[in-house]
Amino acid sequence: MLATIAEIIIDVRSLVNETTASFWTDVEITRWANKGQEIIGTETKCLSKYYKHTLIAADIVNSREIRMNSDYVAIDDGGIVYDDKPLEQISLNALNEHAGNWRTTTGTPSRFYFRSDMIGFFPPCAVGGIVEYYGIERATELSGETVPLSGDYRTIAFRQYIVDYAVAQCWYKKNEMDKYQGKMNEFMKGIYNINAILNGNRNQGAMIIPGYRARGHRYAIQYGRTDLYID
């Protein structure tokens, strides 16, 4: 079912009633199909992949940060593991407020933070350190026998939404705005359906930082006791 770009093009052409290329080219439809699956992968975070890398000097920026793998658009649940040790997530604001001269602290990383597409470590990471995480990967570009959405078997029923997006762009090119909007509505409904089905049981977000716990909670920060917060 819509297992290759050729099958997707056939389906799109059937829906726009142009079985042989005339107004719309196969190159255009392929480009729109790839845009559609890229949006699906990004909006639903449905494609998760394990990443493991031993750091070299060229990986490390600002003495403590590494850039997220370019195949990924975000970090998935599970956080960051450094040298087989799970790290706790923190923010730059929290480090600035509660960790004193954290920029000069040395030792083995125990925390990580995000800054744009960078992953930072506190204390700093080092050459030879092994970083592991699950990332939300970008879908493999469709061409030849490439299977949509990186071949993830869970998404077979959702390949139709790639067709919806490509059909919408066909109508946009032809300035058929009502038809364009109708197909885009179906596409966006597809995004909603994928999120509801695949992400309904995802883990909850990162643990709330102690500073936001209710007063009196046994893990709440006491005034003047930042040592309870950061090792």
Same domain, 131 and 146: no
Same domain, 94 and 104: yes
Domain boundary (136, 154, 178) is at 136
Same domain, 23 and 53: no
Same domain, 41 and 52: no
pLDDT tens string 140-158: 999 999 999 998 888 899 9
User: How many domains, the chain?
Assistant: 2
158, 40 contact by CB (below 8 A): yes
State what percent of residues in the chain have pLDDT above 70: 86
Q: Return d(Cα 4, Cα 141) in angstroms, integer.
A: 11
Q: Which residue, among 123, 190, 185, 198, has the nearest Cα to 153 in the 3D structure?
A: 198
Q: Is residue 179 part of a domain?
A: yes
Query: Confidence band (pLDDT; 50, 70, 90) for 198?
Result: confident
DSSP string, 10-66: HHHHHHTT-SSSSSS-HHHHHHHHHHHHHHHHHHH---EEEEEEE--GGGEETTTEE
Q: Which two tokens stand for residue 169?
A: 């762009």
3-state secondary structure (DSSP) of residue 85: strand
pLDDT tens string 175-185: 999 999 999 99
Q: Return d(Cα 120, Cα 158) in angstroms, integer.
A: 35
Question: Residue 13 sits in which domain range?
Answer: 5-46+142-198
Same domain, 86 and 25: no
Same domain, 65 and 38: no
Those residues with Cβ within 8 angstroms of residue 225's Cβ, 6 or more apart along the chain or in another chain: none
Same domain, 69 and 178: no
Q: Is residue 174 part of a domain?
A: yes
Mean pLDDT of 208-215: 46
Q: Is residue 213 part of a domain?
A: no
Q: Is residue 175 part of a domain?
A: yes
Same domain, 118 and 56: yes
Q: Which two tokens stand for residue 177?
A: 């705005």
Neighbour tally for 122: CB within 10 Å: 24
> Which of 39-43, 199-203, 205-209 shows the lowest per-residue confidence on average (mean pLDDT)?
205-209
Q: Is residue 228 part of a domain?
A: no
Q: Is residue 214 part of a domain?
A: no
Report the pLDDT value the prediction gives residue 224, as an integer from 0 to 100.
47
187, 164 contact by CB (below 8 A): yes
Q: Per DSSP, what are the bridge partners of residue 66?
A: 60, 119
Neighbour tally for 228: CB within 10 Å: 12
Report the pLDDT value the prediction gives residue 101, as an integer from 0 to 100.
85
Q: Per DSSP, what are the bridge partners of residue 22?
A: none
Same domain, 74 and 32: no
Q: Is residue 215 part of a domain?
A: no
Q: Is residue 107 part of a domain?
A: yes
Same domain, 132 and 194: no
CA 155 to chain CA centroid, nearest Å:
16
Neighbour tally for 9: CB within 10 Å: 22
Those residues with Cβ within 8 angstroms of residue 30's Cβ, 6 or more apart along the chain or in another chain: 5, 9, 142, 143
Same domain, 53 and 116: yes
117, 70 contact by CB (below 8 A): no
Same domain, 37 and 113: no
